[in-house]
Structure 1
Amino acid sequence: MITALNITAVSIVLLFIAGLSAQVLRQNQRLLINVSFSLSALASLMALFGGIWTVGSGVTERIVLMIGLPDLPFHLRLDPLSGYFLSIIGLLSFFVSIYSTGYVKGFLGRRSVTRLVIFYCLFIAGMFMVVLADDALFFLISWEAMAAASYFLVLYEDEKSENRKSAFLYMVVAHIGAVAILLSFGVMAGFAAGFENFNGFTFDAMRQTRFPGQWATAAFLLAFFGFAAKAGVVPLHVWLPEAHPVAPSNVSALMSGVMLKTAIYGIVRVTFDLLNVFPWWWGAFVLIVGIISAVMGVLYALMQHDLKRLLAYHSVENIGIILIGIGLAMIFKSFNLPMMAALALIAGLYHTMNHAMFKGLLFMGAGAVLHATHERNMEEMGGLIHHMPWTAALFLVGCISISALPPFNGFVSEWLTFQAFLLSPSLPIPMIKLLMPMGAALLALTGALAATCFVKAFGVTFLGHWRGHHKPHIHEVDWSMRSAMFMTALVCLLLGILPTLYIEWMDILSEQLVGAKLSASATLSGWMWLTPVSPERASYSGIVVFTGILAIYVIVYLILHVNPGKIHRGPIWDCGFEKLTNRMQYNATSFSMPIRRIFGFLFKIKEEVSLVPQSAHPAFPKKLHYELKVRDRFWNWIYKPIADVSFWCSRKVGMLQQGRIQAYLIYSFVTIILLLFFTR
């Protein structure tokens, strides 16, 4: 019998087959790329179909695999929540797999791609298994498989010390988070069935248990800490801007676009499904963490010159926006406001899909730039729109989407989040009354700063003239990379102009998790108009906005191009100075300087200017050397002290290794005496 769960299971098997084929075809690297990524694209498409089917039908399917430890079989469950995240992972994985057939060929002749293909397939399979797992054991196995595969993908170009350090940092943070998740599951399993047997390790047993308040809080905080470490929430974000830039760009697109969403899935699953009852302050805590992550993430991004590092910091920002929606939903549900909770939850989950699409598109665009120029530093770019018009146009779609500008998808989910803030009733807690307007204001600030950042990213990278010292042979990327970016951009547009159809499809999630549906009010004025609460309060039509923008563009184009004399070309305005060079253009450093002056206290900034004097006359320097370093203060506040203490302890423990047999015999003798003493 064909079911959504069976189709998804076959997709996972197909990914394992694709990974195994890498060993068989390793002698023919080009054929290996075509076969393996075609199989991974097919598997992702099957998982996407299974997820869409599950959410659309609202059916829950279960299966138990007797392949685990004794008395610990693997439980799999495909319900609308896991189906929704399965759809997100499958959709972006499908696009990135098509993109990879062209991108990975750039490594041919330089290094073997066998390892990249194997861990790429295992990485996607691990993410699929995470959202299907219905017991603590299988969830943690899948979680670790996903983390290990992504670790080896970050480490792919292992000859670079930067990659080795970034991969090590990522693995350390990932394992600390995994330990916290394990402890959270341990607390819930203990109360679900006691510690006499293993029945409590299933999620079904946890769902049926009412946890004591203090232990529920412990389980929630442990789970949130563990998943937040994977999601890159401030201050647990430090691995993210280190690991994402050094990974291959197709891997960066998946890590930022969908791997972070498995952490969001974990937070939603534990909070709204396994625990299900929570006090209002849990939501306030999540909301505050989300606001801090959103604002700090976009400010960190504005300071960056590395294009991929800039995009990585924007993942911190957008995870914060998603957590704002989830936190608001928790607050509203705790005060028994199901409609407002549904609005906030839909906003957060909608942004989860939106972020996967536009961030995947932006990382694929950055990968296309890297593929063509072999350069990540925006200060060494410029004028790429003339050589890469397709990439420039598609990257611009991603910039507009992530800046939350209509008619693309980022606007809809952030607009819904604003509605959750602005349309919320007065709540009885003074702290919540303060948080609501402050959160809305900071979210507005985040949106403005994001738009500023992507004006910088697109302008410095694609507009103007080449700024680099050495201009490489720049070319447009091949059809597979362009087609994948085009399809992702098209999804960004469709999610922006048809939000009511999408909300109608996903509305089963809010009904199951918070007990209310949004689609009844959202589609009150028809499919063209999105009305979150009522048409009198607020409404938005993506299709009308898109039609209006398109009409204005066509009219302006016709006015300017029907009569050839309307457009005059002349030399650039040079302020009366004729000897302009490409190096005199605005660059990333100068663009972000005003923001750095305002918010500089949040960073550790080192700015130095040194003179290189002429031998003839010291009063006329040969050149100026400007150096700017912007560091994350959390390194010095949190991570450096921990690292220093760890190294100090390691050195002290290392003193025990004397290299003399007498010392080791004494250690053994003392250990035996202590054991005898404590076992009396």
Structure 2
Amino acid sequence: MPLDFALLCVGALLIVGAASIYWRDREDVARLVYGATGGLCAAIFLSAVVPRGAHALSTVLPLGLPWLGMHFRLDPLSAFFLAVVNLGGAAASVYAIGYGAHEKSPMRVLPFFPAFIAGMNAVVLADDAFAFLVAWEFMSLTSWALVISQHDRRENRAAAYIYLLMASFGTLCLLMAFGILGGATGAYDFASIRETPKDAWKSGLVLAFVILGAGSKAGLVPLHIWLPLAHPAAPSHVSALMSGVMTKVAIYGFIRFAFDLLGAPAFWWGLHPLVFGAASALVGVLFATVQSDLKKLLAYSTIENIGIIFIALGLALAFKANGQALPAALAFTAALFHVFNHSLFKSALFFGAGAVLGATGEKNIEKLGGLIRAMPQTAFVFLGACVAISALPPLNGFVSEWLVFQAILLSPSLPQWVLKLLTPAVGVALALSAALGAGAYVRAFGVVFLGRPRSPAAQQARETDKWSLGAMSGMLFLCLLAGVLPSFMIDTISPAAMDYVGGRMPSQADIAWLSIAPIAESRSSYNGLLVFGFITFSSLAAMQTIKTLWPRPVRRAPPWDCGYVDPNPATQYTASSFAQPVRRALGAIAFSVHEKLDMPLPGETRPAHFAVEIGDRFIQFIYDPLNKAVWYCAGRLNVVNYLSIQEYLALVFAALVFLLIIVAL
């Protein structure tokens, strides 16, 4: 059975992680571990995509709590996320075969890398609260170990500490959610939870806990502060897994609660994902626009895309609550399609960032430039992934965002006025974030790969290894395939939509010319293959026309700089200057900016200095006061360490009475 085979492979991943310690003295230990991990991920991926029929598969293993065991289940939703997890895991493993050769301390990474993938698989397959929480915490702890693997840097230790705090907070919220769902009967397997009657206030409280628990792991604003710190601190193949895959496991957790365990939704359930999703999309893209650290830029972009997914899920909840199955299926399909798409192009981008880091030792894009000459293949793949994440046709990012906009256009059919007013505003925020995202990636690619090298490290760069190039190219090919032939992905997602929102989009395989139609061809349609053919033909025709009308050979000359030829690369546009208009016009929405200008007096020969400090308003107004409050309370509670035995007994008695009152209520 596919479920049993997937569980065996998950156990094998744990064995590979443990075996890496036994193999630690071998020179090829990294190649062995990453190769075995990639093979097991490929096997689980195949077990998820092979058709199983209409029925879900379930099993119980004699592990965990006595006489209860651990329940696991494979249905269309978990199969989809299982495919996403293991496709990303296989690509990261192939990439790491080449990238891992540059790791200074591989044994800080190798035992935890396959265990991290095993934890994500276990979360997706879990079918009871105990198995889900154990797998969730295991996923968090192994990823924390990978984040702190390069602990010689102070900023990495701080990032790992903040990540651990946020992960613990998220797990606590999910534990409270399961506790409320279980109720007095103590139902802990998902089948019993589904059958348990739920009061409206309890469902609302559980939804709040789930948004906090899953949202903190996904990077939803304002729970995002760990993400731009932890992702750059981890090795690049781990960053690709955390950003492209682990955040999707958090999305799965939200869907499992909101669309399955909580039962029939109320219309207001969609308000929170819509609001937090729109805020995440705007805040993430604004921060990405001004970042100089390449990996931090990609991390903030992940926050933007998580916001897009939550917008679609909020729409799906609103439509489902109002009994509108077809619009709900459209929004739900758009969300899952963007989950898949983001895992592809964000993995490719982090792979490209790792290749740049390995070739130059630099993450600061202000010190890069001109890498298209030294790393042409990496530059091509990175450009393709930038086009995909910027939602430009014919790649896959355009299709899923276009489907989200199509769902937003159906919002006037919602009967509640709050949704009628909120959804168009969310659509405006989504459109603005899409435009700013394209600008952010024009800036990233232009500063990193075009122009002239800005540092000796950029001048001495060389192309990355074939394993890394193969992994990047494979993800880019899938981006193109999903963009040109999206109908196959939509039909693949439809069984999950049928199970969880009660409807599905029209069968796209029945539409002529491989077009897709969200509702009906008369309303709107898109043909990725036709767009791809037009772009290819027009590009080749333009090239041929230029060659025919301008037969002179290509020549190179120094760049023109307002009439002055200056060979100094510092005369080029910098990343900061590129982002300055956006920062000054829209930056106050998301962050605080302090500009420091040190201008020499007339007659002084010292240079002028200009610096910009960008602060996160959420840290300033939420987390800093919270941190101060915790320290204050800790200082006050310190008196408990110096009580007498009589005072300790009185304190225990008071706590016992308080707990008995809670139980009685």
TM-score norm. by structure 2 comes to 0.95
Higher mean C-alpha displacement, 277-286 vs 345-354:
277-286
Contact 1:133–1:139 (Cα < 8 Å) also in 2: yes
Contact 2:286–2:587 (Cα < 8 Å) also in 1: no
* 2:350 aligned with 1:363: yes
SS at match of 2:363: coil
* 2:115 aligned with 1:122: yes
Higher mean C-alpha displacement, 253-262 vs 465-474:
465-474
Aligned residue number for residue 670 of structure 1: 647
Aligned residue number for residue 182 of structure 1: 175
Contact 1:8–1:50 (Cα < 8 Å) also in 2: yes
SS at match of 2:50: helix
Aligned residue number for residue 217 of structure 1: 204
Aligned residue number for residue 101 of structure 1: 97
Aligned residue number for residue 529 of structure 2: 543
Correspondences of 1:472-551 after superposition (within 5 Å): 473-520=460-507, 522-526=508-512, 528-551=514-537
Aligned residue number for residue 136 of structure 1: 129
Alignment size in residue pairs: 655
* Alignment-mate amino acid for residue 34 of structure 2: F
Structure 1, unmatched stretches of 5+, are 658-663
Aligned residue number for residue 641 of structure 1: 625
SS at match of 1:396: helix
Residue-by-residue CA offset, 1:365-394 (whole Å, 9 max, x unaligned): 001100111100010110000000111000
By how many angstroms is 1:639 displaced?
0.3
Correspondences of 1:178-327 after superposition (within 5 Å): 178-190=171-183, 194-195=184-185, 198=186, 200-327=187-314
Work out which of the residue numbers 47, 54, 57 in structure 1 matches 2:44. Answer: 47
Aligned residue number for residue 632 of structure 1: 616
Work out which of the residue numbers 351, 357, 380 in structure 1 matches 2:338. Answer: 351
* Alignment-mate amino acid for residue 88 of structure 1: V
By how many angstroms is 1:679 displaced?
8.4
Aligned residue number for residue 432 of structure 1: 419
Contact 2:329–2:503 (Cα < 8 Å) also in 1: yes
By how many angstroms is 1:675 displaced?
5.1
Contact 1:524–1:531 (Cα < 8 Å) also in 2: no
Contact 1:14–1:39 (Cα < 8 Å) also in 2: no
Q: CA RMSD in A?
A: 1.8
Residue-by-residue CA offset, 1:638-679 (whole Å, 9 max, x unaligned): 00001111222333444666xxxxxx5x53342235557898
Report percent identity of matched pairs. 39
Higher mean C-alpha displacement, 666-675 vs 89-98:
666-675
Correspondences of 1:353-392 after superposition (within 5 Å): 353-392=340-379
* Alignment-mate amino acid for residue 412 of structure 1: V
Contact 1:291–1:439 (Cα < 8 Å) also in 2: yes
Higher mean C-alpha displacement, 465-474 vs 7-16:
465-474
The 3 A distance-change label for structure 1 pair 189 and 383 is same
* Alignment-mate amino acid for residue 10 of structure 2: I
* Alignment-mate amino acid for residue 628 of structure 1: V
By how many angstroms is 1:558 displaced?
2.5
Work out which of the residue numbers 593, 598, 619 in structure 2 matches 1:610. Answer: 598
Higher mean C-alpha displacement, 523-532 vs 366-375:
523-532
Contact 1:560–1:567 (Cα < 8 Å) also in 2: no
By how many angstroms is 1:567 displaced?
4.7
CA distance in 2, matches of 1:37, 1:148: 20
Structure 2, unmatched stretches of 5+, are 658-665
CA distance in 1, matches of 2:451, 2:22: 47
Contact 1:16–1:121 (Cα < 8 Å) also in 2: yes
The 3 A distance-change label for structure 1 pair 429 and 598 is same
CA distance in 2, matches of 1:219, 1:351: 26
CA distance in 2, matches of 1:338, 1:677: 53
Aligned residue number for residue 662 of structure 2: none
* Alignment-mate amino acid for residue 667 of structure 1: S
SS at match of 2:564: coil
TM-score norm. by structure 1 comes to 0.93
Contact 1:574–1:580 (Cα < 8 Å) also in 2: no
The 3 A distance-change label for structure 1 pair 489 and 650 is same
SS at match of 2:529: helix
Contact 1:500–1:527 (Cα < 8 Å) also in 2: no
SS at match of 1:622: coil
Aligned residue number for residue 20 of structure 2: 22
By how many angstroms is 1:472 displaced?
5.9
By how many angstroms is 1:625 displaced?
1.2
CA distance in 2, matches of 1:276, 1:91: 31
SS at match of 2:110: helix
SS at match of 1:57: coil
Residue-by-residue CA offset, 1:91-119 (whole Å, 9 max, x unaligned): 11111100001111102xx33x1230111
The 3 A distance-change label for structure 1 pair 161 and 570 is closer
CA distance in 1, matches of 2:654, 2:597: 66
Work out which of the residue numbers 345, 364, 381 in structure 2 matches 1:394. Answer: 381
The 3 A distance-change label for structure 1 pair 593 and 187 is same
Work out which of the residue numbers 35, 59, 76 in structure 2 matches 1:63. Answer: 59
Aligned residue number for residue 329 of structure 1: 316
Aligned residue number for residue 83 of structure 2: 87
Contact 2:411–2:419 (Cα < 8 Å) also in 1: no
By how many angstroms is 1:210 displaced?
2.8
Contact 2:559–2:565 (Cα < 8 Å) also in 1: no
Aligned residue number for residue 661 of structure 1: none
SS at match of 2:503: coil
Aligned residue number for residue 74 of structure 1: 70
* Alignment-mate amino acid for residue 117 of structure 1: L
Higher mean C-alpha displacement, 290-299 vs 56-65:
56-65
By how many angstroms is 1:561 displaced?
3.9
The 3 A distance-change label for structure 1 pair 546 and 645 is same
Residue-by-residue CA offset, 1:194-229 (whole Å, 9 max, x unaligned): 34xx4x100000112231111111111111211001
Contact 2:412–2:420 (Cα < 8 Å) also in 1: no
Contact 2:506–2:517 (Cα < 8 Å) also in 1: no
Contact 1:560–1:566 (Cα < 8 Å) also in 2: no
Residue-by-residue CA offset, 1:209-263 (whole Å, 9 max, x unaligned): 2311111111111112110011110000000001111111110000000100111
CA distance in 2, matches of 1:470, 1:4: 49
* Alignment-mate amino acid for residue 161 of structure 1: R
CA distance in 2, matches of 1:677, 1:371: 60
* Alignment-mate amino acid for residue 141 of structure 1: V
* Alignment-mate amino acid for residue 450 of structure 2: L
Contact 2:219–2:227 (Cα < 8 Å) also in 1: yes
CA distance in 1, matches of 2:379, 2:482: 21
Contact 1:99–1:480 (Cα < 8 Å) also in 2: yes
SS at match of 2:202: helix
* Alignment-mate amino acid for residue 551 of structure 1: F
Aligned residue number for residue 552 of structure 1: 538
CA distance in 2, matches of 1:679, 1:151: 36
SS at match of 2:623: helix
The 3 A distance-change label for structure 1 pair 555 and 527 is closer
CA distance in 1, matches of 2:656, 2:630: 32
CA distance in 1, matches of 2:655, 2:546: 91
* Alignment-mate amino acid for residue 78 of structure 2: S
Aligned residue number for residue 621 of structure 1: 605
SS at match of 2:566: coil
By how many angstroms is 1:559 displaced?
2.9
Residue-by-residue CA offset, 1:492-517 (whole Å, 9 max, x unaligned): 00010011111112210111111112
CA distance in 2, matches of 1:372, 1:397: 20
The 3 A distance-change label for structure 1 pair 136 and 656 is closer
Contact 2:18–2:111 (Cα < 8 Å) also in 1: yes
* 2:147 aligned with 1:149: no
